Amino acid sequence: MSRTYNIAVIPGDGTGPEVIAEGVKVLNAISGKAGFKLNLNYFDFGGERYLKTGETLPDGAIDELGKYDAMYLGAIGHPDVKPGILEKGILLRLRFELDQYINLRPVKLYPGVECPLRDKGPEHIDFVVVRENTEGLYAGAGGVLKKGTPDEVAVQESINTRKGVERCIRFAFEYCRKRGKMNKLTLCGKTNVLTFAFDLWERTFYEVAKEYPDIKPDYAHVDAITMWFVKNPEWFDVIVTDNMFGDIITDLGAMIQGGMGIAAGGNINPHGVSMFEPIGGSAPKYKGKNMINPLAAICAGGLMLEHLGEIKSGREIEDAVKLVTAKHIKSLAAGQMGLTTSEVGDLVAKYVTE
């Protein structure tokens, strides 16, 4: 067999393993048909391992993961572990140390999916957020003084480098051109208040824009964009923004596309190994109940195949998901699908092989 891909699978915590199992079911179904092979290697990083060993990522893990063609992640987050430890120790470390500097998050309403916006349908909601993924407020710059006293001082700074901003903006212009939908790229910022950081973003954006005369550069403040997502989502094609704003607006994006049950994303290093994940959390209360929606994980698997160059198979997964949302699934919410987690996976796997 000519095309073989080595995939590092991190099912993670909570419902992560259940949704990843359905994603793997679909990936295996389509690989047989399309004639490529996936070698899956599983890693047990997550809350359970941390509680047993005190270790988030073991020594050498980053180097080892860096050798794979892609990574497929379920969810990280455990109710018995203090917030921040697993997020910073696993998820953010992987993003940073593997230099996955783009977080690519499509926001697309599929047919049959209930949208909380009155009068909006699949023809109105189809855009992609390119979120910077290694800098900004997430870089961890800052510190605390006199902790726990009335004089406590906490500083958390946003780091924006010309290099980091420019490579993200360039990726977004290229992506927008390749997508070929509206040829419009919107910078989402806050130039009226964050006059250092977003001045750098804005100058870089319009400089790079000169190299892309076929793409219309556009700008929106982050507060206004949350309003437009609700009022006029059809205005957007590709949006580029910093790490924190990207985090916030993509949760809103997930809601207008029907919920966390369908929202998928990719942490991309265009020159290294990229990691694909459903963007919702580990949903511990649904763990082991066969109730959680696996479509986001399945869609993340589709994004991974597209990234690996298996474009046709990636699209076929999306088409199969559309059939399931249009014909079978009652609601995207856990426990209200009218189907179990594994039944949803079975249906997508059936459609991709038909």
Please state, in angstroms and rounded to a whole number, the distance separating the CA atoms of residues 131 and 267. 9
Residues ≥6 apart with Cβ < 8 Å to 75: 12, 13, 14, 15, 16, 19, 277, 278, 280, 281, 282, 283
Residue 304 or 352: the one with the smaller Cβ distance to ligand IPM is 304
Site for Mn ion in 143-172 (CB under 5 A): none
Shortest spacing between CB 281 and Mn ion, in angstroms = 9
Size of the site for ligand IPM (CB under 6 A): 5
Site for ligand IPM contains 279 (CB under 6 A): yes
Which residue in 75, 3, 25, 9 sits closest to 320, CA to CA? 25
Phi first, then psi: what are they for 209, rounded to 5°? Answer: -55, -30
Shortest spacing between CB 258 and Mn ion, in angstroms = 17
Site for Mn ion in 207-246 (CB under 5 A): none
Which range, of 10-18, 85-93, 150-158, 305-313, touches ligand IPM by CB under 6 A?
85-93
What does 87 bind: ligand IPM, Mn ion, none (CB cut-off 5 to 8 Å by kind)? ligand IPM
Site for ligand IPM contains 242 (CB under 6 A): no
What single-letter DSSP state applies at residue 339? S
Binds ligand IPM (CB under 6 A): choice among 6, 48, 66, 87: 87
Binds Mn ion (CB under 5 A): choice among 22, 126, 237, 247: 247
- Cβ–Cβ < 8 Å for 246, 129: yes
- Cβ–Cβ < 8 Å for 229, 256: yes
Cα–Cα–Cα angle for 65, 68, 73, rounded to 5 degrees: 65
Shortest spacing between CB 135 and Mn ion, in angstroms = 16
* Burial status of residue 257 (CB atoms within 10 A of its CB: 0-12, 13-18, 19 or more): buried
Site for ligand IPM contains 310 (CB under 6 A): no
Binds ligand IPM (CB under 6 A): choice among 132, 247, 316, 318: 247
What does 10 bind: Mn ion, ligand IPM, none (CB cut-off 5 to 8 Å by kind)? none
Shortest spacing between CB 327 and ligand IPM, in angstroms = 30
- Cβ–Cβ < 8 Å for 32, 95: no
Shortest spacing between CB 151 and ligand IPM, in angstroms = 30
Shortest spacing between CB 247 and Mn ion, in angstroms = 4
Shortest spacing between CB 76 and ligand IPM, in angstroms = 7
Q: How far apart are the first and last CA of the chain?
A: 22
Q: Which residues bind ligand IPM (CB under 6 A)?
A: 87, 91-92, 247, 279
